[in-house]
Amino acid sequence: MEIELMQTAGLDPALIGIGLSYGLTSDAFAMRYVPEDRKNRIVQIAGKLASRGGGEDKFLRQAMYWWSVRGPRFWWCEADTYKVATTAQSESTMHTIMHRELTQEDFEYEIPPFMLGQLNGLIEGYRMTKNEEAFLKLKNMLPEGFLQRRIWSLSLANMKNIYAQRKKHRLPQWKIVCDAFVEHTPMWLRGIYE
């Protein structure tokens, strides 16, 4: 499994929003216009609110993260549980699976060589005949360990929730994801993962 942060956005507007509640940003449209002493106060407040929950951490919903994730289908089935304010675009097996021969690197864990041979036989059969039955058989036989890349966008609030629910999960893929979340969250906000 591989996960890589592509981009973040929205944390500054979320901090401006926090500042509004405390009269610290009523005259600012961007963090660059906020005096340093007020910025420090906003960050301090945000750090406290972030770990509270109960709606006091609502600013976390405005900070978005885009991740490139290459994960096994069995992991994606669980990740799809977190659909509130998330979006994923993927390498569709419907459109890409018949374009090339599969190798062991296409799977999270090694599959039996005979199974890989069967899958590639179906791919070759489809390429030669365009027989939809070969395609449907391949989709039916494709192991859950097949790696699929998706661009996954979610908010810091989603990340906080996922971390709380999955940090001690038995699937090691969740540890990889949770570690990436912590690594790419600003130091002053990492309290959301405690």
Q: Is 49 left (phi over 0), alpha (psi -120 to 50) or beta?
A: alpha
My answer on whether 113 and 127 are in the same domain is yes
Cα 73 to Cα 143: distance, rounded to the nearest angstrom = 8
Alpha helices in 51-112 (DSSP H): 73-79, 93-96
Task: Look up the domain containing 170 and give its range.
Answer: 2-69+151-193
My answer on whether 118 and 187 are in the same domain is no
My answer on whether 74 and 131 are in the same domain is yes
Q: pLDDT truncated to tens, each residue of the chain (194 aa)?
A: 999 999 999 999 999 999 999 999 999 888 899 999 999 999 999 999 998 888 899 999 999 999 999 999 999 999 988 876 667 788 777 667 888 999 999 999 999 999 999 999 999 999 999 888 988 999 999 999 999 999 999 999 999 999 999 999 999 999 999 999 999 999 999 999 98
My answer on whether 136 and 160 are in the same domain is no
- Whole-structure pTM value: 0.90
My answer on whether 75 and 123 are in the same domain is yes
Domain boundary among 133, 148, 163: 148
